[in-house]
Amino acid sequence: MAFDAGGAGAGALSGAAAGTALMPGIGTAIGAIGGGLIGGFLGGTDEAEMSPEERQARQMQLAHISRLQASANGGPNVATERMVEHNRAENAASQVGYAKTLGGDPALANRMAAEGIARGNAESAYQGQQLAAQEQHANQQLLAQTLNNLRAADAGNASIQTAVHQANLDKERAMYGSMMNNAAGTVGGFF
């Protein structure tokens, strides 16, 4: 598979746009590099030569890389958001339940519950930020590994294609040489 400069340009532009939308500055650069590599190695003219299954697999790979890139750039994480919401809801229910068991002054119980809810929510937010940072770092590493694996596979394919092309050239040269020898023998037979 050859490097497609047109696909690289288009990939770099779309990757830069996506990176800028998620994280201006470094996201733009990462998006342009990733998009350029993906577009250069996967995009362009070779797609017409693919079977429908190969095209579908390519589209799935590109969609996966796009999601991974968004997450690596700090995009929203639904699992972390749901975990924080769940922890906040459990904390609120727990604090209200605890306040009700105290009895006595309802205003004091409500104030204690509100303070407990605020502390619990702050802790949930902190845990969510820690989890999101860990996941972002892991996804940055996974994105780099995915792109390196893709590049290695493309380099292997390019090497195979180069070897096949060279073998075909060698056959053509041998045939041409044989034709020239036959032609020379035929022409030499006339003289």
pLDDT attached to residue 102: 79
Q: How far apart are CA 180 and CA 169, in angstroms?
A: 16
Average pLDDT of adjacent 10-residue blocks, the chain of 191 residues:
55 58 59 61 52 79 83 78 88 86 83 89 89 86 83 74 80 76 62 54
Whether the CB-CB separation of 113 and 96 falls below 8 Å is answered with: yes
Predicted confidence at residue 73, as pLDDT, reads 83
Residue 5 pLDDT = 55
Residue 19: the pLDDT is 56
In the chain, what are the domain boundaries?
A: 1-75, 77-139
pLDDT at 15: 58
Q: What pLDDT is stored for residue 44 in this prediction?
A: 46
pLDDT at position 14 = 61
Dist CA 19 CA 38 (whole Å)? 14
pTM of full prediction above 0.75? no
The contacts of residue 99 (CB under 8 Å, 6+ apart) are 109, 110, 112, 113, 116
